[in-house]
Amino acid sequence: MDMSETVKLNHTQSLSPKMGMKVALRGEVRMNESMKKYTSWRAGGQADRIYIPADLADLSQFLLSIPKREAVHVVGLGSNLLVRDGGLRGTVILLHGKLNNIQLEQHSDEEGLIYVEAGVTCAKVARFSALNNLAGAEFLAGIPGTVGGALAMNAGCYGSETWGIIEGVRILNRSGSLKDRDSKEYETSYRQVNLKSDIRLPVDSPSEEWFVGAWIRLKKGTDVTSRKKIKELLSRRINSQPLNLPSAGSVFRNPPGDYAARLIESCGLKGFSIGGAMVSIKHANFIVNTGNAMAGDIEAVIAEISKKVKRKTGIKLAQEIRIIGEAK
């Protein structure tokens, strides 16, 4: 990708005000807020503070306003996340519905380039691409999360992965500065994304940074063909996944040459439950909240699955979901 051809912002810049100027934050602050409503498992403890930014500039200013040692947790739809019952110290930043810009930057007879912010849902990107007669993003309709989350874990389904269509990304660091990077600056694999070791960062560069946008390069297609494919993918998802109960999608990564769901089912764990958390009867790699699950119940089921699969098959399953916060 030649970023100079497609992106006006091609350097590190800060969205913060000039030295000496004070700018009032425009976002919303919520104190001691339960994380249940912000995670797809509908379980978890309280966050000390939640910040919902008005936009990217406001988010940058907020990061500058908090102590450098304060913990920051960035959350999209919370669809790949378990917050422990003891809650979260520091601040949770909610991006879904706020960093929601999506636009077509280039379009030709052969391809197109879309820019999308991190708070946009993957499903919306799939629909937007189809509407603009671009093919290759249909699989995103099957990912129940936001673009930011999909970038962070290289989310994928049905044989396709997020970074397979990414041309460049925009990141925001702890100091409130933005930087655009080419996708080639990252090493990506199955559910893994890391900045290449030979990429040199400034000595004083903050270690924490988050994806806040991405450029997606897609081939020319047709609206009708893409919408048909999206419909087929969603039908497969409905038929194979327990979408009627709260869950976080696949709990474990598929080991090389096998499927986590098959291994879990082979151990007789479908329907296994602790408290309100149960291994789905429909898909063994899903743990569902049957109505009153605590985060501790879910984590206990995860631990039991790991133990039994390792004991029977010798395979150590790696978690796909993130677990954060303090136990109660």
Residue with tokens 């309280």: 46
User: Which pLDDT score, from 0 to 100, does residue 230 have?
Assistant: 97
Residue with tokens 């290289």: 154
* All structural domains of the chain: 1-240 (3.30.465.10), 260-324 (3.90.78.10)
User: Which pLDDT score, from 0 to 100, does residue 204 have?
Assistant: 55
- For 187-233, the pLDDT digits (tens) are 999 999 999 987 766 655 567 899 999 999 999 999 999 999 999 99
- For 43-62, the pLDDT digits (tens) are 999 999 999 999 999 999 99
Could you tell me which residues come within 8 angstroms of residue 217 by beta carbon, excluding any fewer than 6 positions away?
1, 111, 112, 113, 165, 166, 167
Kindly give the residue spans of alpha helices, DSSP state H, lying in the chain. Answer: 3-6, 56-65, 122-131, 147-153, 223-240, 260-266, 295-313
Residue with tokens 């916060």: 325
Helices (runs of H) and strands (runs of E) counted in the chain: 7, 20
User: Which pLDDT score, from 0 to 100, does residue 19 have?
Assistant: 43
Instruction: Give me 129's structure tokens.
Output: 């691409």
Residue 321 region, left (φ>0) first, then alpha (ψ -120 to 50), else beta?
Answer: beta
User: Which pLDDT score, from 0 to 100, does residue 217 have?
Assistant: 98
Task: Tell whether the model's pLDDT for residue 244 goes beyond 90.
Answer: yes
198: number of Cβ within 10 Å: 6
The one-letter code for the residue type at 299 is: E
pTM exceeds 0.85 for this model: yes
Residue with tokens 């979901």: 321
- For 172-184, the pLDDT digits (tens) are 999 999 999 999 9
Could you tell me which residues come within 8 angstroms of residue 58 by beta carbon, excluding any fewer than 6 positions away?
25, 26, 27
User: Residue range 147-163: average pLDDT?
Assistant: 95
User: Residue range 87-110: average pLDDT?
Assistant: 95
Could you tell me which residues come within 8 angstroms of residue 129 by beta carbon, excluding any fewer than 6 positions away?
114, 135, 136, 137, 138, 140, 216, 218, 226
Catalytic amino acids? 191, 250, 320
Report the interhelical angle of 223-240 vs 122-131 (nearest 10°): 150
Least trusted range by pLDDT, from 14-23, 115-124, 307-316? 14-23
